[in-house]
Amino acid sequence: MNVGLNLVLAASAALFAVGAFAVVARRSAVLMLIGTQFMFMAGSIAFVAFARFGLGAVNATAGAAVAIFVGATAVAELAVGLAMAALIYREHRSLAVDADRG
């Protein structure tokens, strides 16, 4: 038994699917944002796995560098998204993204 590229990519795909489910199925803005975080994390894991197990473009640390940039982007997206969720809550006393439909 060993750990190679395919195992980590499979876990990454599963995490991405969980995030997609949250974005499509949940109405709470917070849970949808958590779903997008999972999708960002899945992408980061795939980059790191490719760099670690054989597809590093320049060197082995390139994947980790991309993962750091992706993580920062995800945090920034979370900050902006949560600010929007707080505004939705202030207007409609609900975190549901379709709260304005009445």
Partner 1 sequence: MPLIGALPQPITSAPLVILIYAVLLLMVASALASVLLRSTVIATGAFAATMVLVALLYLTIAPFLLFAVQLLVFTTVSAALLVGVLRRTTGLESTQEPFSREWIVGTAATAAVLALLVVILASTSWPVRPVNAGAGLGATLTNTYVVGLAVLVVILASAALGGGLLLAAPTPARPRGR
The residue ranges that bind partner 1 (CB under 8 A) are: 1-11, 13-22, 24-28, 30-31, 34-35, 37-38, 41, 44-45, 48-56, 58-65, 67-69, 71-76, 78-79, 82-83, 85-86, 89, 95
Burial of 98 (0-12, 13-18, 19+ CB in 10 A): exposed
Nearer to partner 1, 93 or 102 (CB): 93
What are 34-38's contacts with CB under 8 Å, separation 24+?
36/74, 36/77, 36/78, 36/81, 37/74, 37/78
Tell me the closest approach of the beta carbon of residue 70 to partner 1, in angstroms: 10
Least Cβ distance, residue 46 to partner 1 (angstroms): 10
